[in-house]
Chain A
Amino acid sequence: NAGVTQTPKFQVLKTGQSMTLQCAQDMNHEYMSWYRQDPGMGLRLIHYSVGAGITDQGEVPNGYNVSRSTTEDFPLRLLSAAPSQTSVYFCASSYSGLAGELFFGEGSRLTVL
């Protein structure tokens, strides 16, 4: 099994550009979430989903959009990139809830100039 796959691993954007970070899992997990990791801040929840067709906001949702059309995929869209969105983004999935045992992707490092 591949687990949780994130693409791209690295991306450089200019301010105002939009892009989508892809996340796919092959474990049939209902719960999926996006976190960002910044130095000195710990991981913070951006958006999450408890099943196909159901999404909700986390702690830091502004500037991001998500959708969940299938169980496997949970893309994160940056609508108009800002330097404050420079970060490492992690997608995670779980079979037992948002606070259950989480399986993480390897991360997507985004730089916004």
Chain B
Amino acid sequence: KQEVTQIPAALSVPEGENLVLNCSFTDSAIYNLQWFRQDPGKGLTSLLLIQSSQREQTSGRLNASLDKSSGRSTLYIAASQPGDSATYLCAVGGANSKLTFGKGITLSVRP
């Protein structure tokens, strides 16, 4: 059974810092990997989706990488801003075409 781990559970950084959020998974036979953002009391918003054949995806200040062999993905946020404060969830799409979610990392960017 696929397990997805996101450590640490919470992170606080000063504004302007470049930061990396980590996601690890136990089964490397994945279909894709997706990063989501969740604001308090809101639904999830898809940020980046990486297919299993890809190594990375970029959108604005966000860059997500995927290393299937090591079971890891990272979400890089450049020049962090207070508006980036949210919970970031990683989800792995398996061969059964269903997603397994991590528990998320709650990010706080201090002005």
Contact = CB atoms under 8 A, between A and B. Distances in A.
Contact of A42 (B46, B94, B97, B102): B102
Contacts, number: 57
Contacts of B43: 4, 90, 104-107
A111 to B, nearest CB: 15
Task: Bin the interface of chain A by size.
Answer: 20 to 34
B101 A98 contact: no
Contact of B99 (A4, A41, A98, A103): A98
Interface in A92-110: 92, 97-107
B89 to A, nearest CB: 7
Q: Chain B at the A interface: mostly helix, strand, loop or mixed?
A: strand
B98 A99 contact: yes
Interface in A61-97: 90, 92, 97
Contacts of B22: none
Interface of B: 4, 31-32, 34, 36, 41-46, 49, 89, 91, 93-94, 97-99, 101-104
Interface of A: 4, 40-45, 48, 58, 90, 92, 97-107
